[in-house]
């Protein structure tokens, strides 16, 4: 699975709202360096500042069957700032142990191990099974990953209606990526009855949350009066936001002030946080 999101629905005469290809997210956080999002690097750094006795104590608790200790120790081994102290295979084993006993975050992280082949052989079907377990327990990033798999039929049988249900669940929990893709489903009538007004509302939430494609899509809605009252000023506002962040189609629309005949798939590259780490 690529970690790049691209538009796969180019229009014939006018740009169409864009949606992402499946790129499972390890994290909902926007900034990632060396595979570890900034907020999680801070957590790792705080943990790393503890004494060796603290790590030993954590290992002892994990050995006694403490699920949270197993999860935390696995996290430390997977994302330790000092790469020499990382142990992906052991981290996978700890998360599997905790996940099998019901630890929700461990279920999600175990799914990402299978999804990306971290500490184990890549197996997208098993990834989807564990995403589903975490999703059923309310983990919104797992819900989003599961929705992407259901929408595209990757690792699980394709089911657009079920995908929309999980997108909606994650969107209601505040996940901006899910809000954007739910908006696209509503706009296009994919797995749900077409509803342009509700689509625009979800695009707006996602755009406010900083999702690039949602900013572009919302600009198109205001430009064309789809789900909202036509408003060229607001259309330019959102298209400019997208253009400043490198959205080629938005730049072209603002530059030419006319509808291009075709939008290339390359126009909508969206670097997504690799779903390597969870938001919480």
The answer on 209 and 132 residing in a single domain is no
Taken in order 34, 207, 213, 240, the sign of the CA dihedral is: negative
Q: Say what the pLDDT of residue 26 is.
A: 55
pLDDT by residue (tens digit) across 45-56?
Answer: 444 443 344 778
Q: Say what the pLDDT of residue 33 is.
A: 33
The answer on 121 and 179 residing in a single domain is no
Residue 26 lies in a domain: no
Statement: residue 227 has pLDDT above 50: yes
Maximum mean pLDDT: which of 14-18, 151-155, 274-278: 151-155
What total number of domains does the chain contain? 2
3-class DSSP state of 206:
helix
Least confident of 121-125, 163-167, 214-218, 264-268: 264-268
Query: Which position has the higher pLDDT, 58 or 36?
Result: 58
Query: Which contacts of 166-173 are long-range, i.e. CB under 8 A and separated by 24 or more positions?
Result: 166/135, 167/143, 169/135, 169/140, 169/143, 170/140, 170/141, 170/143, 170/144, 171/202, 171/205, 173/138, 173/140, 173/143
The answer on 267 and 179 residing in a single domain is yes
Residue 155 lies in a domain: no
Q: Which domain holds residue 134?
A: 36-138
Beta bridge partners of 36: 33
Model pTM above 0.85: no
Residue 182 lies in a domain: yes
pLDDT by residue (tens digit) across 131-188?
Answer: 999 999 999 999 999 999 999 999 999 999 999 999 999 999 999 999 999 999 999 9
The answer on 262 and 178 residing in a single domain is yes
The answer on 52 and 2 residing in a single domain is no
CATH code, 258: 1.25.40.10
Residue 186 lies in a domain: yes
Residue 146 lies in a domain: no
The answer on 47 and 9 residing in a single domain is no
């Amino acid at each position: 699975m690529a970690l790049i999101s691209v538009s796969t629905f180019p229009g014939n005469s006018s740009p169409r709202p864009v949606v992402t290809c499946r790129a499972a997210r390890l994290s909902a956080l926007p900034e990632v360096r060396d595979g570890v999002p900034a907020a999680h690097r801070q957590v790792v750094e705080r943990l790393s500042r503890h004494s060796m006795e603290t790590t030993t104590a954590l290992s002892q608790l994990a050995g006694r069957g403490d699920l949270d200790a197993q999860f935390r120790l696995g996290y430390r081994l997977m994302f330790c700032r000092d790469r020499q102290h990382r142990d992906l295979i052991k981290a996978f084993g700890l998360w599997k142990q905790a996940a099998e006993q019901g630890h929700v975050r461990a279920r999600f992280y175990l799914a990402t191990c299978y999804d990306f082949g971290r500490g184990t052989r890549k197996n997208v079907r098993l990834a989807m099974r564990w995403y589903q377990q975490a999703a059923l327990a309310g983990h919104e990033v797992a819900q989003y990953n599961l929705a992407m798999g259901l929408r595209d039929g990757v690792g699980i049988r394709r089911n657009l209606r079920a995908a929309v249900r999980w997108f909606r669940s994650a969107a209601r929990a505040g996940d901006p990526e899910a809000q954007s893709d739910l908006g696209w489903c509503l706009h296009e009538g994919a797995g749900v009855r077409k509803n342009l007004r509700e689509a625009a509302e979800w695009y707006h939430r996602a755009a406010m949350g900083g999702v690039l494609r949602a900013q572009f899509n919302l600009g198109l809605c205001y430009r064309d009066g789809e789900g909202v009252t036509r408003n060229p000023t607001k259309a330019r506002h959102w298209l400019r936001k997208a253009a400043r962040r490198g959205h080629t189609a938005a730049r072209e629309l603002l530059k030419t002030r006319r509808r291009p005949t075709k939008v290339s798939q390359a126009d909508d590259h969206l670097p997504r946080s690799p779903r390597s780490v969870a938001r919480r």
